[in-house]
C-alpha cells in the first residue's frame, strides 16, 4: 500500500497485496497441516462413542461438491471482471458467497446431528480433534463469505466501465483476486480434509 | 534557507503530538515505539531476574516463597523472549530494512502499525496477570502441570491468549517484511547485494511464518483442555502430554534462531565498518544464515532428550543438532577473518560486537556438549543449561542488540551516544555478565537443578551462587548506566552528522535522522557496499542529488491499526473476564477492518528537504 501513483514497479513485478496473500497462505498451510496431524493422532480415540466410520460421506460429499463449484464460480467472476462484464461479475461473486453459505449450512446440520448423537468437543479425543479441525475450516469459510459479500457492499470494481478490458494489475481486479486466492485456498484445504478425514476410513 | 522554517509544524500541542504517534505509519517512528516499549519490558523482566538472584544469593533464602519464584522464572523467560528480544529485533527490522534496500517505507505501513499495537497490548495483557496470579508453569508450559487441575487460576489463560496476540502480531509483521524485502528493493539492489542484516530479517520472517502456526494450534488445544474440557494433553483423559512438547518445541527451537539471527545480522554490519574492510565471505555468511533457518526446523526434539523418545529419534536429533554447528561455525570464522589484519577502530558498538562473537562461541560450544543426547541426560534441568542459554541469548542476542543500539542511535536520533561512558557500560556489562553466568557452568556440573527457589547449604553451591548474584548486581548497575547514557543522548550530545562511522550501507547515504520519505532520490545500487563505492571508487555513488524527486507522497496516518489491535485485545481478554467483551472485540476487528479498506491511503506530498540533504 506504499505503492501508489508514480511509485516504481515492484522488484518482482508482482503486486504487493498478492505476494502478501501468497505468503499468508504459506503460513496457513502449516496451520491446517498441524490440525490434520492432530486429528490423525486422535483418530482411534473414540472411546466407544461415534468414530471415524460414523462420518456421513453422502452429506459431506455433497458439501465438497458445493464448495468445489464455488471455486468455479469464483474463477468465472474474475474472468467476467477481466473483460468488463460487471453484471456477470457481481452475479458470480454472489453465487460464490451463496454456495459458501450452503456449505456452512450443511456443516451446521452435520455438527448438530453429531451433537444429538452425543459427539461433542469433550465427549472423546476423536470428537475434540474432529471439531477443532472442521470448526477452524468452517470459520475460514465464514470469513471468506463475509469477504465476498463485502466486495459487493463496498462496490469493488465500480471504477470499471462495462465492456472495458481490465489489466491483471488493475487495483480493483487485485482486490477481487486476493479474495479469490483466499477462497481457493480454503476450498483446497477442504479437498485435503475431505480426502484424509472422510474418505480414507471408508476405503 | 529561509524557506526551511516554513516547514516547521505550526501549532504542535502535546495532544497533537501524542495523536501523531498513535496514528503513525512511518517505519522509523514505529521502530522507536518498538525499541522504547521493548526496553521497558526488558527492564521489568530484568527486575524479575534480580529478585530471583537475590533470593538465591545465600542458602535457605527467605525473600520470596516458591510459588512467587515459579511465577517469576516463568514470566522472566516468556518476557525476555517474546516481549523484549523479539520486539527489539522488530525495532531494528523497522528502522533498517527500508533504509537498507532503498525503499520509502515497508510494503504495508498500516499493517506495520497494527503489528506494533498488537505487540504492545499483548505484552501488557501478559503482565497484567501479576495482579491475579501469573503463569507459573515455565515458558514452555508443559501439561499436565499447566492443565486446569494443577494450574486452576487464570495465569495460564493470560499466557495462552497473550502469546496468541503476540504470535499474530509477529506473523503479520513477518509477512510485511518478507514482502517488503522481495518487492521494494531499489534499482540495482539484487538479493545478492542486500546487507546481511536484511538477509537475516528475511530468514527470520520465514521462521516465524512457518513455526508459529503449529504453536497457535497447540495453544488453542490447551485452551480447550482448560475451558471446554477436552483432554488432548491430559493423560488421565487418555491425552498425550508429549504431543504438546513436540508442538511447542517445533516453534520453540526455530524461535531461538528468531532471537539470534537478527543480532548476527547486526554484528555482520558493525564488524566490517570498524574493521575498515568488507565482510569476509559475504555469500558464505548469508547462505549459512539460510541453512541455519532450514535446519532450525529439524532439531526441536533435542529439547526432549530426557522424555524417552527412543534411541533412534534421539540419535537423529543429536546428529542434526551437531550439523547445525557447521553453518554457525562458518559465521564465527568469517567474522574472525573480517577482523584478521584489519585496522580496527575500537568504539562502543565494536566492543559489543566483538564480545558477541566471543560469548556466542562459548554458548555455542556448551550447546554442542548437550547436543549429544547421553550428555544431555546429565545436563538437562541443571544450571549448566541456564549458563548455556544465557551465553547465547544474553551474551549473544542482547550484546548484539546493544551493539546495534550504539551503532544506529545516530541514524535514529541524529545524535551520538557518549563514547567514554559507553565503553564503561560495555566493561561493566561484559564483566557482570561473565561473573553471573560463568559460575553457573560450575553449579550445573555440581548438580544444582534449575527452577528451585532455594537450596540447603553444604552442597558446594554457596560460594558460586553468591558470586553469580554479585555479578547480576554489577550487570544491573551497567544497565542503570545505560539508561543514563540514553537519556543523556536524547537531550543532545553532539550532532552526529549523516555518516558518523563511515558506513558502507545505504542508510548512511541519507540524513540523520532520515526525512519521512527516507531518500530524496531513488538510490541506484552497484554492489553490496554502495556507500563505500561512492566514497572510495568502484561503482558510482548511489545517490544523485540532481535527481531529487519533488512529488513524493507518503502513506497517510491512520487510527484504524490501533482500533483493530484494541479489538483483538478485547477479544482475548474477554475469554477470561466476560464473553460479551470478546463479542465487542470481534465486532471492533470487523468494523475496523472494513473502515481500514475504505480510507484513502495517500497523504499530502512530503517535500524533499531541499539542498540540505544533497551536500
Tens-binned pLDDT, residue by residue, of chain A (203 aa): 333 434 457 888 889 999 999 999 999 999 999 999 999 999 999 888 888 888 888 999 999 999 999 999 999 999 999 999 999 999 999 999 999 999 999 999 999 999 999 999 999 999 999 999 999 999 999 999 999 999 999 989 899 999 899 988 899 999 999 999 999 999 999 999 999 999 887 66
Give catalytic residues of B, as residue numbers: 76, 105, 139, 169-170, 253, 255, 257, 268, 302-303, 328, 331, 450
Reply yes or no on whether the pLDDT at B550 is more than 80. Answer: no
CB B477 within 8 A of CB B429: no
Rounded average pLDDT over B406-427: 94
Instruction: Give the confidence band of B553 by pLDDT, cuts at 50, 70, 90.
Output: confident
| B597 contacts A4? CB cut-off 8 A | no
Residues in chain A, total: 203
Task: Provide the pLDDT for residue B336.
Answer: 97
Instruction: Give the confidence band of B13 by pLDDT, cuts at 50, 70, 90.
Output: confident
Task: Provide the pLDDT for residue A52.
Answer: 87
Give how far B505 is from chain A: nearest CA, Å.
Answer: 19
pLDDT tens for each residue of B256-289: 999 999 999 999 999 999 999 999 999 999 999 9
CATH 1.10.10.10 fits B29-494, yes or no: no
Which residues on chain B are in Cβ contact (under 8 Å) with A34?
Answer: 213-214, 217-218, 247
Task: Provide the pLDDT for residue A203.
Answer: 62
Residue A13 CB neighbours (<10 A): 8
Chain A residue nearest residue B250, CA to CA? A34
Residue B374 CB neighbours (<10 A): 10
Provide, rounded to the nearest whole percent, the portion of chain B with pLDDT above 70.
Answer: 96
H/E segment holding residue B553: strand B552-555
Task: Provide the pLDDT for residue B81.
Answer: 97
What's CA B19's distance to the chain center, in Å? 26
The β-bridge partners of B449 are B382
> Which residue of A4, A6, A10, A11 to mutate against B (max B Cβ within 10 Å)?
A11
Give how far A122 is from chain B: nearest CA, Å.
Answer: 4
Reply yes or no on whether the pLDDT at B254 is more than 70. Answer: yes
Select from B371, B414, B374 the least CA-distant residue to B392: B371
* Residue B612 DSSP class: G
Instruction: Give the confidence band of B493 by pLDDT, cuts at 50, 70, 90.
Output: low
pTM for the model: 0.94
Instruction: Give the confidence band of B614 by pLDDT, cuts at 50, 70, 90.
Output: very low
> Model ipTM?
0.93
Would you kindly state where each structural domain of chain B is located, as residue ranges?
Answer: 29-494
| B104 contacts A2? CB cut-off 8 A | yes
Task: Provide the pLDDT for residue B143.
Answer: 96
The β-bridge partners of B553 are B605
| B214 contacts A34? CB cut-off 8 A | yes
> Which residue of B107, B113, B226 to mutate against A (max A Cβ within 10 Å)?
B107
What angle do helix axes B86-101 and B399-413 make, rounded to 10 degrees? 50
Rounded average pLDDT over B401-410: 97
Percent helix, strand, coil in chain B (nearest 5)?
Answer: 70, 0, 25
Among A27-31, B145-149, B232-236, B611-615, the least confident range: B611-615
| A6 contacts B228? CB cut-off 8 A | no
Record: fold of A16-41+56-202: 1.20.120
Give how far B426 is from chain A: nearest CA, Å.
Answer: 39
Looking at per-residue pLDDT, the higher value among B253 and B537 belongs to B253
A10, A31, A34 ranked by CB distance to B183: nearest: A10
3-state per-residue secondary structure call for B317-358: HHHHHHHCHHHHHHHHHHHHHHHCCCCCCCCHHHHHHHHHHH
Task: Provide the pLDDT for residue A11.
Answer: 87
Chain A residue nearest residue B104, CA to CA? A2
| A23 contacts B178? CB cut-off 8 A | yes
What's CA B229's distance to the chain center, in Å? 35
pLDDT tens for each residue of B288-347: 999 999 999 999 999 999 999 999 999 999 999 999 999 999 999 999 999 999 999 999
Rounded average pLDDT over B151-180: 96
Reply yes or no on whether the pLDDT at B2 is more than 50. Answer: no
Reply yes or no on whether the pLDDT at B5 is more than 50. Answer: no
Residue B88 CB neighbours (<10 A): 26
Residue B504 cell numbers, joined: 558502507
| A20 contacts B108? CB cut-off 8 A | yes
H/E segment holding residue B605: strand B602-606
Which residues on chain A are in Cβ contact (under 8 Å) with B238?
Answer: 45, 47, 125
pLDDT tens for each residue of B569-611: 999 999 999 999 999 999 999 999 999 999 887 777 765 544 3
**Ordered alpha helix ranges (H), A13-85:** 16-42, 57-82
Would you kindly state where each structural domain of chain A is located, as residue ranges?
Answer: 16-41+56-202
Among A1-5, B65-69, B240-244, the least confident range: A1-5
Mean pLDDT of chain B: 93
Among B241-255, B338-352, B511-525, the least confident range: B511-525
| B228 contacts A121? CB cut-off 8 A | yes
Residue B280 cell numbers, joined: 569476509
Amino acid at each position: 500500500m506504499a505503492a501508489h501513483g508514480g511509485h516504481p514497479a515492484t522488484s518482482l513485478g508482482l503486486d504487493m497485496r498478492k505476494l502478501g496473500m501468497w505468503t499468508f497462505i504459506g503460513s496457513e498451510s502449516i496451520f491446517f497441516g498441524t490440525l490434520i496431524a492432530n486429528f490423525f493422532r486422535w483418530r482411534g480415540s473414540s472411546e466407544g462413542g461415534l468414530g471415524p466410520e460414523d462420518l456421513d460421506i453422502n452429506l459431506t460429499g455433497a458439501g465438497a461438491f458445493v464448495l468445489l463449484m464455488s471455486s468455479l464460480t469464483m474463477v468465472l467472476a474474475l474472468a467476467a471482471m477481466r473483460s468488463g462484464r460487471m453484471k456477470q461479475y457481481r452475479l458470480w461473486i454472489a453465487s460464490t458467497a451463496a454456495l459458501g453459505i450452503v456449505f456452512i449450512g450443511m456443516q451446521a446440520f452435520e455438527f448438530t446431528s453429531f451433537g444429538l448423537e452425543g459427539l461433542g468437543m469433550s465427549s472423546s479425543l476423536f470428537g475434540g480433534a474432529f471439531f477443532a479441525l472442521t470448526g477452524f475450516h468452517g470459520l475460514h469459510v465464514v470469513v471468506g463469505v463475509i469477504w465476498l459479500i463485502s466486495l459487493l457492499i463496498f462496490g469493488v470494481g465500480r471504477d470499471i466501465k462495462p465492456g472495458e478490458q481490465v489489466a491483471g494489475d488493475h487495483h480493483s481486479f487485485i482486490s477481487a483476486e486476493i479474495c479469490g486466492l483466499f477462497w481457493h485456498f480454503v476450498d483446497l484445504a477442504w479437498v485435503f480434509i475431505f480426502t484424509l478425514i472422510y474418505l480414507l476410513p471408508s476405503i | 534557507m529561509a524557506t526551511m522554517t516554513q516547514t516547521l509544524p505550526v501549532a504542535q500541542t502535546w495532544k497533537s503530538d501524542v495523536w501523531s504517534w498513535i496514528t503513525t505509519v512511518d517505519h522509523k517512528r514505529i521502530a522507536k515505539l518498538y525499541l522504547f516499549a521493548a526496553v521497558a519490558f526488558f527492564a521489568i523482566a530484568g527486575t524479575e531476574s534480580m529478585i530471583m538472584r537475590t533470593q538465591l544469593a545465600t542458602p535457605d533464602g527467605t525473600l520470596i516463597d516458591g510459588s512467587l519464584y515459579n511465577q517469576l522464572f516463568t514470566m522472566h523467560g516468556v518476557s525476555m523472549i517474546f516481549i523484549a528480544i523479539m520486539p527489539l529485533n522488530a525495532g531494528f527490522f523497522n528502522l533498517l530494512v527500508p533504509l537498507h534496500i532503498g525503499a520509502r517505507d515497508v510494503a504495508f505501513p498500516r499493517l506495520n502499525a497494527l503489528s506494533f499495537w498488537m505487540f504492545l497490548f499483548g505484552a501488557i495483557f501478559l503482565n497484567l496477570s501479576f495482579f491475579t496470579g501469573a503463569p507459573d508453569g515455565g515458558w514452555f508450559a508443559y501439561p499436565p502441570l499447566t492443565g486446569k487441575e494443577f494450574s486452576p487460576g487464570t495465569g495460564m489463560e493470560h499466557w495462552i491468549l497473550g502469546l496468541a496476540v503476540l504470535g499474530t502480531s509477529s506473523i503479520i509483521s513477518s509477512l510485511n517484511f518478507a514482502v517488503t524485502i522481495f518487492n521494494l528493493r531499489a534499482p540495482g539492489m539484487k538479493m545478492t547485494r542486500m546487507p546481511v542484516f536484511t538477509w537475516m530479517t528475511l530468514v527470520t520472517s520465514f521462521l516465524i511464518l512457518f513455526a508459529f502456526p503449529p504453536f497457535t494450534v497447540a495453544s488453542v488445544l490447551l485452551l480447550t483442555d482448560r475451558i471446554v474440557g477436552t483432554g488432548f494433553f491430559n493423560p488421565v483423559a487418555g491425552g498425550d502430554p508429549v504431543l504438546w512438547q513436540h508442538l511447542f518445541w517445533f516453534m520453540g527451537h526455530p524461535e531461538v534462531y528468531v532471537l539470534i539471527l537478527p543480532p548476527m545480522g547486526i554484528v555482520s554490519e558493525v564488524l566490517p565498518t570498524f574493521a575498515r574492510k568488507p565482510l569476509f565471505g559475504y555469500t558464505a555468511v548469508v547462505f549459512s544464515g539460510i541453512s541455519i533457518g532450514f535446519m532450525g526446523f529439524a532439531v526441536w526434539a533435542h529439547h526432549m532428550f530426557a522424555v524417552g523418545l527412543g534411541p533412534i529419534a534421539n540419535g537423529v536429533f543429536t546428529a542434526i543438532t551437531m550439523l547445525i554447528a557447521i553453518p554457525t561455525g562458518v559465521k564465527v570464522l568469517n567474522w574472525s577473518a573480517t577482523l584478521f589484519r584489519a585496522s580496527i577502530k575500537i568504539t562502543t558498538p565494536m566492543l559489543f560486537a566483538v564480545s558477541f562473537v566471543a560469548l556466542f562461541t562459548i554458548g555455542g560450544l556448551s550447546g554442542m556438549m548437550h547436543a549429544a543426547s547421553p550428555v544431555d541426560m546429565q545436563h538437562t534441568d541443571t544450571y549448566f543449561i541456564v549458563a548455556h542459554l544465557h551465553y547465547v541469548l544474553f551474551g549473544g542476542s542482547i550484546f548484539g542488540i546493544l551493539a546495534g543500539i550504539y551503532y544506529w542511535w545516530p541514524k535514529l536520533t541524529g545524535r551520538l551516544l557518549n563514547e567514554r561512558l559507553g565503553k564503561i557500560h560495555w566493561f561493566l556489562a561484559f564483566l557482570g555478565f561473565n561473573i553471573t553466568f560463568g559460575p553457573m557452568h560450575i553449579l550445573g556440573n555440581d548438580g544444582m537443578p534449575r527452577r528451585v527457589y532455594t537450596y540447603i547449604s553444604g552442597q558446594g553451591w554457596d560460594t558460586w551462587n553468591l558470586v553469580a548474584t554479585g555479578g547480576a548486581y554489577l550487570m544491573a548497575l551497567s544497565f542503570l548506566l545505560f539508561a543514563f547514557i540514553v537519556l543523556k543522548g536524547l537531550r543532545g550530545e553532539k550532532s552526529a552528522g549523516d555518516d558518523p562511522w563511515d558506513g558502507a550501507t545505504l542508510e548512511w547515504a541519507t540524513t540523520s535522522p532520515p526525512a519521512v520519505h527516507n531518500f530524496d532520490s531513488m538510490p541506484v545500487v552497484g554492489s553490496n557496499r554502495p556507500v563505500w563505492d561512492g566514497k572510495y571508487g568502484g561503482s558510482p555513488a548511489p545517490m544523485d542529488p540532481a535527481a531529487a524527486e519533488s512529488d513524493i507522497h507518503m502513506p497517510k496516518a491512520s487510527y484504524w491499526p490501533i482500533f483493530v489491535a484494541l479489538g483483538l485485545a478485547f477479544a482475548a481478554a474477554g475469554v477470561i473476564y466476560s464473553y460479551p467483551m470478546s463479542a465487542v472485540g470481534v465486532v471492533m476487528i470487523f468494523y475496523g477492518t472494513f473502515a481500514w479498506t475504505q480510507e484513502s491511503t495517500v497523504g499530502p506530498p512530503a517535500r524533499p528537504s531541499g539542498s540540505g540533504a544533497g551536500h
